Structures are given as C-alpha cells and as structure tokens.
Chains A and B, each alone.
Chain A
Amino acid sequence: MLPSPLSAQVTVWALLLAWLAVCVIFDLRSRQVPAFLTVLPLILAAIWQLIQGGWQLVALVALLVLISDLPKAKWRIPIACAATILSLSIPGSPGIVYAMLVVFAVWALWEIGASGGADAKIIITLVLFFSNGLLFIPIVLVGGVQGLVGLIAGRKTIPYTVAIVVGTVAWLWMISYSG
C-alpha cells in the first residue's frame, strides 16, 4: 500500500528537522558543521529542485559556487550580481524569484565574511527544497532576536543554526496553518 501524501510530507519534514538538529549539535559543540552534513543535503535539494523544474535556481547556485573560486576577490560579488540578474531574467514563479534573491543574499553574506559557510549552505539547501525564499524571513527574525540576546550577554558570535532550525519550524507551522 502506498503511503498517503500527508504521511509522506510529515516523514520528509521529520527527516529535515532531524538533519537540522544534528547540525545544531555540531554547531553548539565546535561552531563547525562537517562538510558531509551540508554538501550532501545541498546536492539532494538541488536534484529535488531540478525535478520540480526550477533549473534556473539550481544553475544560479552552481554559478555562485564556481564564482566563489575566482582568484580575484573584488570581482566575485559584481560577477555574482550579473549572474543573479541573468537568472532573474528567466521566467519563473514568484517563489523562484524570491528564492534567487535569498540565495544571492546568503552567498554574498558568506563572501564578505559576515556568515559561516555551513550556515549559508544549510539556508540555500532549505530554499532549494521549499522552492521559496520567504522561508528566509522567519530565520533572520529569529536570528535577530538571537543576535540581540548575544549582544546583551556580551557574546560576539552566535550559533546561527539555532535560528535556522527555529525559523524553519516557524515556517513549517505557517505553511501548515495557511493550508
């Protein structure tokens, strides 16, 4: 007997949250997340996005990964801007457009050193998986609260995976509630 679509969705969300929980554990222990925990899900989410037809979003992510290896650092962000504008010119759903903007913003924050690579890859994986950049809003709002608490407590850095997991749970709750 085939599983119902609802139970399949619940299973996928449970697996997603379990993966995020493991990332949080590594982050809290060492402020690092092993590459296999971020690269493998990123590849799986890219394959999923290709199946969904969002090839332009996957192409943008692949381009940004390649651009990050350009030898001249000062050219990386301008070239990434051009790649993003080019990707945005390809017709797509509003969700894909937001997703592209978020992917670029997250990558750019990593490129200027404002964010960790593991955090950036996890957020991009989630955006690829849900095909919607609006997921970024609850994550950054929770991150803002976490940052504020960090500042009050006198901590210079925060484990951002906590904001990612709490923001994702809030996002899942919102999309479940809105049907």
Chain B
Amino acid sequence: MRFLRDRAAIETSEVAVIIAVVVLVAYGAYQLLGARIAEVVRDVAGRL
C-alpha cells in the first residue's frame, strides 16, 4: 500500500501556483460557458 504508507507532506511552490491557476481558469471557463455547453449537449442529444 504505497499510497497509504507515504507520509510526505510537501508540495513544490511552482506546482501549487500552477494548480491554482489551472483550477481558476477551468472554474472561470465553466462559469462563463457552462450553460452554453449544456445547451449544445442537450441539442445533440435531442437530434440523436
């Protein structure tokens, strides 16, 4: 159980910043385009 045994509580500063930026961009895109994406998916599902 390699995952359960790992006790390291360390994170690289760069990685922490990159993850935050990626999550922020993804969340922003979802907020902006989420409704439109759902509409397109419903349209495609309707045509099928």
Residues of A within 8 A of B (CB): 23, 26-27, 31-35, 38-39, 42, 64-65, 68-69, 107, 109-110, 114-121, 136-137, 140-141, 143-148, 150-151, 155-161, 163
User: Contact at B16–A150, with CB atoms within 8 Å?
Assistant: yes
Residues of B within 8 A of A (CB): 1-17, 19-21, 23-24, 27
Interface SS, A side: helix
CA distance A140 to B11 in the complex (A): 12
- Within 8 Å CB of B21, what residues of A? 144
Majority DSSP secondary structure for residues of B touching A: helix
Q: How many Å lie between the Cα of A160 and that of B7 in the bound state?
A: 13
How far is the CB of B22 from the nearest CB of chain A, in Å? 8
Known A146-B16, A147-B17: A136·B23 in contact at CB below 8 Å: yes
Instruction: Determine if A114 and B4 form an interchain contact, defined as CB atoms under 8 angstroms apart.
Output: no
Q: Provide the bound-state CA to CA distance between A32 and B9, in Å.
A: 5
Cβ–Cβ contact A116 & B17, under 8 A: no
**Given A117-B6, A117-B7, A120-B3, also A140-B20 (CB < 8 A):** yes
Inter-chain contact B20/A143, CB cutoff 8 Å: yes
Residues of B contacting A27 in the complex (Cβ-Cβ under 8 angstroms) = 9
Given contacts A110-B3, A116-B8, A120-B3, contact A147 B23 (CB under 8 A): no
